Structure 1
Amino acid sequence: MTTFTVIGTSDPVPLEIARSARARRRGLLGRDGIEGALLLSPANAVHTLGMRFAVDVAYLDRTLRVIAVRTMRPGRIGLPRPRARHVLEAEAGMLERWGLRPGTRVAVRDA
């Protein structure tokens, strides 16, 4: 199982990683929710067209530092973030709960 943690905390969060182009295109489409988060890599933009629930989106740079965080309702198209190399998606409200905000870093670990 893959997890991520916010640097400076010890609580691991379940993580799915979408590495293939097909997995990144599908993202969270067709799901009613997610336990943990989904990491789209590489990616610098997302959309919520066809989504069933609102999501929190964190744009990460190449060192996994958070550049920006936003909540997107279904049916939205996000603008690309030029410095972003990865995008972390979770159910709305979860990123704040986990302490993710601009400037924080995450660590990904395979258990």
Structure 2
Amino acid sequence: MSDKNASMQRRRFLKMSAAGAAVTILPLSWHTALAAERLDPNSAQAKAMSYVENASDSTHSAYKEGHNCANCLMFSDPSQAEWGPCAVFPGKLVAAGGWCNAWVTRG
């Protein structure tokens, strides 16, 4: 394969990858509008994940001071100050100041 042909294929791959990433990421920005209700901390799913609306109320051994939904990678819209979408709880809003055991550092 010539260098020119390899370069063209690489460019095509990068363009297709970028397009695929855009299609994947765009729905995250619409997710906040689609999430109609707040997650009930008493729901089975919330309890299974040790979710609390106020992170400092957590008694889970994995909780560390300063960790909350707003600084978690799963919190899909960090621009939300009070309630926002979370990948762990699709279709629900979680408290930005909350916490659950799926917390992952936003890096």
Could you say which TM-score interval applies, normalised by the shorter chain?
Answer: under 0.3
Higher relative contact order (CA 8 A, sep 6+): 1
TM-score of the pair, normalised by structure 2: 0.23
Comparing both structures, which one devotes a greater share of its residues to strand? 1
User: Which structure: larger Rg?
Assistant: 2
Comparing both structures, which one devotes a greater share of its residues to helix? 2
TM-score of the pair, normalised by structure 1: 0.23
